[in-house]
Amino acid sequence: MTPTPSTSKASLTTYLQVAPLTLVLILFFAIPVALVVVVSFFRYQMLVGIVPDFTLKNYIDLFSNPTTWTLYLSTLKFTLIVLVITFVLGFWIAYFLVFHVRNLITAIGLFLVCTVPFWTSNIIRMISWRPVLGTEGLINSALLKLGVIDQPLQWLLYSDFSVVVAYVHLFTLFMIVPIFNSMARIDKSLLEAAVDAGATRWGVVWNVVLPLCKTGIALGALFVVTLVMGDFFVVTVMSGGLSGSATSGIFNDLQFLNYPRAAANAVILLIVVLLIASAIFRLVDVRKELVR
Amino acid sequence: MSASPSYGSRPWTFYALALLFTLFVIFLYGPMIAVLVLSFQGPSASLVFPLRDPGFMWFDELFSPRRTGDVAGAFNRSLPLAILVMLLTVLISVTAGFAFRRRFRGSTAIFYMAIASLIVPGLVLSIGILVTFRYLGLSATWYGSALGAHLSWALPFGLLIMFAVLGRLNPSYEEAAHDLGASRWQTVKDVVVPIVFPGMIAVALFGFTLSYDEFPRSWLTVGTKNTLPLEIWTMTTNVTSPALYALGTVTTVVSFAVIALALSSIIIIQRRRSRGR
Amino acid sequence: MANSPPKSGAAQGSGEIRLVNVTKQFGNSYAVKDINLTIPHGSYCCLLGPSGCGKTTILRMIAGHETPTSGEIYIGNDMVVGKPPVERGTAMMFQSYALFPHLTIQDNVAFYLKMRGVGKEERRRRALEMLQRVQLDHLKDRMPAQLSGGQQQRVALARSLITNPKVLLLDEPLSALDEFLRLRMRGELKSLQNELGITFVHVTHTQPEAIALADMVVVMDTGRIDQADTANVIFDRPATPYVARFMGGQNVLTGTVTGGGGPGTIRLKAADGSHFETMANGEKPKSELSVAVRRDRIALRRRNGDIASNAVNALWGVVSATEYQGSYVKVTLDVGGQVFVANVSDRDYFAEPVERGDPVVASWKTEDVHILGKVDTGAAGDPYLDAGH
C-alpha cells in the first residue's frame, strides 16, 4: 500500500499532477484538522461565541466530567466487540472465497454479492433493521408463532444488541475486502508445502494463512476502529437514544454552538483513534511486511 | 495445468463455511428486502409486517411536500453533488496516481496525509471544515464545503485503487509507445487510458456512492439545505409512515442502478478485450 | 517395466513408485490418460515433455496434491491414493520453491518438525544441521526474500530433506535459475541423489537436463507416455517419431517397404522416389514404415552431377543454413521441401566447407538406420520438428 517505486526523476509535470490532490487535502483535511486543534484551546462565551484565547478549560471540563469517561468506555466496548465479530466473520468469509470456491468467476461473483450493499445508503441499511428486530418485527413474530417465547423480546431493538448488529451489518465489509486482498495473493503452493510438512487443516490456517494476512487484518481493523469510534448516528438510532458514544458529547456541544469544547472533544477522539491505529500497526509490524 | 488444485471430495469445512457465507448473505440482504417489501403498501400501512393492501401510495406521498420534508429538493442536490464528486475523484486521483509512479519531494508526506484523511472520524472533519469556512467568511453550502468534505474521503479511496491499478501497469508499455513514435499525449490517450479504464470506473463508482450516501461529513457542511442522507436522518426522527421505507427503496434503486452501470461497463470492456476486438 | 505388484520383496522404506492405469480428468479434458509406469527404488527419473503434457499432474498425484480420477498409485507396497502427503514418505520441491515468506530460513526448514510437535530447541538444532548440509547455516536468520535464487533453492531442498523422504519430487527445480547456476545445481542434485540413494522424480521440459541427470527418462506427449527408458536408449533409439523429434538429434524418414535389399535388410521407397535400407525386422512388403537416422551419423559431400537413381541411403538437397556449434557444425538441408539436418564434426566441415545454397549429397550407413514404432503422421504442425541440438 505504498506508492509504486520510482522509474524516472520528478519533473514539473509530476508536481502539476499531484497539485489538485494536495490542494484538496490541505484545504479540506489539514487546515480543518489543525483548526479543530487550535479552536479547542479557545474560550466559549455565551451570546458572543468563540473567543480566541489559550485555555485548557475545555479539556479540564471534559476530563473532570464523569460522563465523558462513561461515553468513551462504552464506545471502546462497542469497538472491541465489533472488532472481534467482524474479524471472525471477515476472515472466514474471505477464506471461504479464496480457498474453498474452486471457480474463479464464482469467487468473484460471491465477492461482489458481499460488496454491493457497501455501495448503498448506510442509513437505510440501518433503519431496515427496525421491521426485523422491533417488538412486532419479523423475528419476534416468528418466535411468537413458533411458541418459543410468549412475550416479544424487548432487547432485540433499541439495545446494545441492536447497535452491535447494525455495526456488524455496516462494517464487516471493511474487514472482508482487505483480508480477501491479502489472501488472494498467497501462493497456493505455500499451502501445499505446509500440508507436505504434515500440517493439519487448522495448522495451515494458523501457521501460514493467518501470518500472511496480517497486513489485511490490520487494515480492516483500522477501518472498523475508526468507523465505530467516530460513529454517532448508528448508536443513537439503534439504541433509541439509550446508549451514547464518544461523539455524543460533541453533538451536544454543537447543539449549544459551543465549538471550543466540541473541538476539544474531537481532539481527544482523534488522539484515541490515532493511539489505537499506531498500536495496531506496532502489533503487525507493517515495515517488516513491506520488506518482503 | 488447472486453475485451482483439486482435493477430491470437498472437506467438511467447505460445507461449514458455505453455511456461514449463506447466513451472512441473508444477514446482509434480509433487512433491505424487508424494507423494500414494506414500502409497497396502501393507506392502512404500518411499519412492520405483515404487508397491508399493496400499493404505491407512499411513493406519491414521498414527493408531495405535504407531510414529509423536501425529498425532491434533497434528490436534486444529492445527485449533482455525487456526480460532481465522481468526476473530480476520477480526474484528481488518476492524475495523482500517475504522479506517484515517480519519486518526488513530499510524496511520502502527501501519501500519509491521504491515509490520515481516510482515518480521521468524519464528524471531526465536519467540525473542522465548518470552523474553517467561518473563519474564511464563507457560508457552508452543498456545492462548496460539502463537496470538499466528500472529496477528502473519496480521493484517498480513489488514490488507493489507482495504486493497485497502476502497480500492474508495466512502464515498458509506455516506453514501447514512445519507441514507436507516440507523443506523450498519444501515449496517454491510446495506451495508458485504455489499459487503466476499468480501474477508472471503479474509482468513479467509489466517488459517486461515497458522496451519495455520506452522512457524518455532510452533517455540518451542507449548510441550510439537506442532502438526501440528511433528509432521511430527519425523517427517521419525525416520520412514522412507510414513506420512510419508500424513500429507502428509491435511494437503494438509484444505488443499484449506478452499481449495475459500473459493473456491466467493466464486464463489457473486459469481454471485448478478451475477444480481441 | 513390470507392472505386477511385488508379492513381498520391497522393504517398508522402499521408494519404488508404481502407477497403474492412472487417469486424471479436469472437467472434460484428460490431463493424463491410462498411465502405467514403474519407477525403481533409488533411481533418478525425469518426466520430460512440453508444457501441458501432464508431467506435472503426474508429479502432483504422486505427491498427493491431486487425486487421480481413476487408477492406483503405489509407493513401496502402499497404495497411497487418498492418503495425505505426509503419510506417503514423499517430499515435494515446488517450482516457485514455496518458501514461507514470513519465516526465517531456519524456521522454514524446521516447519515439518514444528508440525510434529518437536520442541523448539531440538527443531532449531536439527534445522541448523540440515542448513549446514546445504552450506547455508550462516544465513539462518535471513528471510527468504533476502536470498538469491540459488540459495532459495538450497533452502527448499533442505526443507524437503528434513522429512527424511523415500521419494523426492522436484517440479521444474532448475527453471528459475540462470544458465551458470543451472549447470552447477544440476551436478549437485545428481550427487545428492547418489549420496542419499532415494528415488528422485524430476519434472522438466529441457532435454539436456533430462539426459544429463536421469537413470530413467519418461517422455510424455499430451497425457500419455511415449517412451520410458534410459537416457541413452531414448536418445539413440527413440520409439516414436514424436520422441525422435522431441529429443532432437534425429532425422525422421518415411517410406513404403518394397522388398529385400542386401542380406538381412529391407528396402524402403520414399514418396520423393529416394531409397533407403534398414535392418530387417519382419516388416511386410507394401507396409509404411518410419525410420530415424542420427544427425551426427550423416556424411555430406558436394554434389557433382546427378546421383544415380538407384542410389541407396542418400538424399540430395540444398544447404539452407549452417550453424557453428563449437565441436560440430549443424548443416540444415532443404530436401525437396523437407528439412534434413546433418551435424558435421568441425574437422570434416572445415576440410570441405559448404555454404547456404550449395547443392550437397547426404548419405549414411544402413546400420545407423533405426526403425520407429509408429508411422510418422507428418511433421507439419509438429512444433518440435527442430527441437534440441
Where is pLDDT greater, at C232 or A242?
C232
Percent of chain A with pLDDT over 70: 93
- CB atoms inside a 10 Å sphere around CB A72: 20
Predicted pLDDT at C306: 63
Alpha helices in chain B (DSSP H): 12-38, 57-63, 71-99, 107-119, 122-135, 145-167, 171-179, 184-187, 193-212, 216-219, 228-238, 243-275
Please, is B30 exposed, middle or buried when counting C-beta atoms within 10 Å of its C-beta (0-12, 13-18, 19+)?
Answer: middle
pLDDT in tens, A101-154: 878 888 888 988 888 888 788 888 888 888 888 888 888 888 888 888 888 888
CA-based torsion, A60, A61, A66, A69: positive or negative: negative
Assigned C-alpha cell, A138:
419479523
Where is pLDDT greater, at C276 or A1?
C276
Going by DSSP bridges, is the β-strand pair C199-204/C167-171 parallel, antiparallel, or unpaired?
parallel
**In angstroms, rounded to a whole number, what is the distance separating the alpha carbons of residues A204 and A218?**
20
pLDDT in tens, C12-30: 468 899 999 999 988 888 8
Task: Give the H/E segment covering residue A45.
Answer: strand A43-45
pLDDT confidence tier of residue C388, bands split at 50, 70 and 90:
very low
| Residue A292 with chain C: CB contacts under 8 Å | 101-102, 143-145
| Residue C111 with chain A: CB contacts under 8 Å | 194, 197, 199, 207
The count of CB pairs under 8 A between chains A and B is: 276
Cα-atom radius of gyration of chain C, to the nearest Å? 25
Mutate to test the interface with C, among B6, B7, B9, B10 (most CBs of C within 10 A): B6
pLDDT in tens, C91-123: 999 988 999 988 899 999 999 998 888 899 999
Number of H helices, E strands in chain A: 17, 2
Predicted pLDDT at C261: 65
| Residue A190 with chain C: CB contacts under 8 Å | 98, 100-101
Mean pLDDT score, A263-276: 91
Q: Amino acid identity, residue A28? A: F
Predicted pLDDT at B46: 65
CB-closest option in C52, C54, C67 to B6: C67
Mean pLDDT score, A164-192: 91
Mean pLDDT score, A33-55: 83
Predicted pLDDT at A6: 42
What is the residue extent of each domain of chain A? 67-290
Predicted pLDDT at C225: 92
**In angstroms, rounded to a whole number, what is the distance separating the alpha carbons of residues B113 and B119?**
10
Assigned C-alpha cell, B43:
393507506
| Residue A176 with chain B: CB contacts under 8 Å | none
* Angle (nearest 5°) at CA A127 between A122 and A129: 110
CB contact under 8 A, C115 and A203: yes
Mean pLDDT score, C47-66: 91
Mutate to test the interface with B, among C25, C51, C67, C83 (most CBs of B within 10 A): C67
CB contact under 8 A, A207 and C114: yes
Among the listed residues A184, A187, A181, A190, the one whose alpha carbon sits nearest the alpha carbon of residue A218: A181
Predicted pLDDT at C389: 41
Mutate to test the interface with C, among A105, A196, A213, A286 (most CBs of C within 10 A): A196
Predicted pLDDT at C71: 92
pLDDT in tens, A207-225: 999 999 988 899 899 889 9
Distance from CA of A204 to the nearest CA of B (A): 13
B3 — contact with chain C (CB < 8 Å)?
no
CB contact under 8 A, B102 and A2: no
> Which SS3 state, helix, strand or coil, does residue B275 take?
helix
Domains of chain B: 69-238 (1.10.3720.10)
| Residue A194 with chain C: CB contacts under 8 Å | 100, 111, 115
C378 pLDDT higher than 70 = no
> Which SS3 state, helix, strand or coil, does residue A269 take?
helix
pLDDT confidence tier of residue A287, bands split at 50, 70 and 90:
very low
Predicted pLDDT at A101: 86
DSSP 8-state secondary structure symbol assigned to residue A213: T
**In angstroms, rounded to a whole number, what is the distance separating the alpha carbons of residues C99 and A143?**
53
> Which SS3 state, helix, strand or coil, does residue C159 take?
helix
Does the N-terminal peptide bond of residue A178 adopt cis geometry, omega within 30 degrees of 0?
no
Assigned C-alpha cell, A43:
474560550
CB contact under 8 A, B2 and C26: yes
C369 pLDDT higher than 60 = yes
CB-closest option in C64, C94, C116 to A193: C94
Enumerate residues 6+ apart whose C-beta is below 8 A from B83.
Answer: B208
Distance from CA of A230 to the nearest CA of B (A): 5
CB B88 within 8 A of CB B152: no
Predicted pLDDT at C310: 63
Predicted pLDDT at B165: 84
Predicted pLDDT at A48: 66
CB A249 within 8 A of CB A263: no
ipTM of this predicted structure:
0.86
Give bridge partners of residue C227 from the DSSP assignment.
Answer: C219
Predicted pLDDT at A91: 96
Among the listed residues C3, C90, C80, the one whose alpha carbon sits nearest the alpha carbon of residue C38: C3
Predicted pLDDT at B277: 46
A161 — contact with chain B (CB < 8 Å)?
no
A57 — contact with chain B (CB < 8 Å)?
no
- Residue C310: φ, ψ to 5°: -100, 15
C6 pLDDT higher than 50 = no
**In angstroms, rounded to a whole number, what is the distance separating the alpha carbons of residues C215 and B20?**
52
Alpha helices in B180-239 (DSSP H): 184-187, 193-212, 216-219, 228-238
- pLDDT tens for chain B, 277 residues long, are 333 334 456 778 889 999 999 999 999 998 888 888 888 876 666 666 666 667 777 777 776 665 556 778 888 888 999 999 999 999 999 999 888 888 888 888 898 898 889 888 888 898 899 888 888 888 888 888 899 999 998 999 899 888 888 877 777 888 888 778 788 888 888 888 888 888 889 899 889 988 988 888 888 888 878 888 888 888 877 766 777 888 888 888 888 888 888 888 888 887 887 765 4
Predicted pLDDT at C1: 40
β-sheet with C90-93: strand ranges across? C90-93, C167-171, C199-204, C44-48, C216-221, C224-229
A292 — contact with chain B (CB < 8 Å)?
no
Distance from CA of C56 to the nearest CA of B (A): 8
Predicted pLDDT at B50: 65
**In angstroms, rounded to a whole number, what is the distance separating the alpha carbons of residues C238 and C226?**
9
Please, is C193 exposed, middle or buried when counting C-beta atoms within 10 Å of its C-beta (0-12, 13-18, 19+)?
Answer: buried
- CB atoms inside a 10 Å sphere around CB C122: 11
C96 — contact with chain B (CB < 8 Å)?
no
DSSP 8-state secondary structure symbol assigned to residue B45: -
pLDDT in tens, C127-162: 999 999 888 999 999 999 889 888 999 999 999 999
Predicted pLDDT at A255: 81
| Residue C64 with chain B: CB contacts under 8 Å | none
- CB atoms inside a 10 Å sphere around CB A210: 14
Predicted pLDDT at A280: 86
Predicted pLDDT at A221: 92
Predicted pLDDT at C4: 41
Where is pLDDT greater, at B116 or A92?
A92
**In angstroms, rounded to a whole number, what is the distance separating the alpha carbons of residues B75 and B73?**
5
CATH code given to domain A67-290:
1.10.3720.10
Task: Strands of chain C (E only): list them.
Answer: 17-26, 29-39, 44-48, 70-75, 78-79, 90-93, 167-171, 199-204, 216-221, 224-229, 250-260, 265-270, 275-279, 288-294, 299-302, 314-324, 328-335, 338-345, 359-363, 369-371
C273 pLDDT higher than 80 = no
| Residue B95 with chain A: CB contacts under 8 Å | 17-18, 20-21
CB contact under 8 A, C86 and A292: no
